Amino acid sequence: MRDLTAHQLNQRLGKGINFGNALDAAAGALRLTEAYFDAVRAAGFDTVRLPVRWSGHAAERAPYTIDGGFLDRVDWAVDGAMARGLNVVLNVHHYDELQADPDGHAARFLGLWEQIAARYAARPDRLYLELLNEPHGALVPRRWNALLADALAIVRDANPGRAVIVGTARANDIDALPDLRLPDDDRLIVTVHYYAPFEFTHQGATWLPDTERWLGTSWGTGADRAAVVSDLDAAARWAAAHDRPLFVGEFGAYSKADPPSRLRWVEFVRTQAERRAMSWAHWDFATDFGVYDPERDAWRTPLLRALIDP
């Protein structure tokens, strides 16, 4: 694992896709199949990001044992992706209780990481561990900086050389990068998520209030493009100043955006990230943001082409 620098490990992530609404969701969610891994590899993606809601499958009391059957499901997904030569980013996702009450759940969060880190310690270095998806709420920067250092120390006990991915507070917002304080560790990749402008990317989103008023928002003017450039330039400046590689772990636009605007936004964000040596993972594979239609068992080809050059 020491043969590659953090920057090289980040470049290896390359072009990624999130398998959202699968291992991070309840019943009725996307059911992963072998065919999905084959399709992702054949399309030209390098990486699968696996969001996992470990907190929904673990005991409430120490040692916070994770359900064995659920662990087997995660193993199957990790190994299925890696068997096809894909990198895997494995994270802790949707730990809502931790976001609301860090002090009350910090010990459980660390207990989960003790188990995850030990279980996957023998996997090849194409497995990357991401400490927590979108820290926010009561996990303000000061509190998150302290907790991430504790979690990283636990991961390092079992995985001294593995690439670890760490995001900013305020839900991995680029503007929160200046508040991020990282331990002295040369195997870290910093992740940000990008959904700006939110009124465009989340117009009509059913899980958020009052988003119907944004319906009809288009994207693609010179000012629209300049705003993306400004945001990613700010992230790139921070990365250069701190000598940290950047992974855009999520970006995408909801399906209710008009298709031409959606394609323009996705392609522009993707290409601008690549120009700044940022790896990326689109959100996501097969939800309402998805590039794949599970009902037709087929790619949404225009959106795929916005991500993967033919």
pLDDT per residue over 97-156, tens digit each?
999 999 999 999 999 999 999 999 999 999 999 999 999 999 999 999 999 999 999 999
**pLDDT over threshold 90, residue 290:** yes
What tens digit of pLDDT does each residue of 203-224 get? 999 999 999 999 999 999 999 9
pLDDT of residue 29: 80
**Cβ neighbours for 224, distance < 8 A, ≥ 6 positions apart:** 197
The CATH number assigned to the domain holding 181 equals 3.20.20.80
142 falls within a domain:
yes
For the chain, what is the mean pLDDT? Answer: 96
The CA radius of gyration of the chain, in Å to the nearest whole number, is 18
1 falls within a domain:
no
DSSP per residue over 256-300, as a string? TS-HHHHHHHHHHHHHHHHHTT-EEEES-SSSTT-SEETTTTEE-
Number of domains within the chain: 1
Distance of CA 87 to the CA centre of its chain: 13
Alpha-carbon gap, residue 289 to 202, rounded angstroms: 10
Query: 3-state DSSP: the chain helix, strand, coil percent, rounded to 5?
Result: 45, 15, 40
| Residues designated as active site | 134, 250
**pLDDT over threshold 60, residue 248:** yes
255 falls within a domain:
yes
DSSP state of 195: -
152 falls within a domain:
yes
Containing domain of residue 148, as a range? 6-307
165 falls within a domain:
yes
Instruction: Give the pLDDT band of residue 2 (cuts 50, 70, 90).
Output: low
Residue type, 7: H
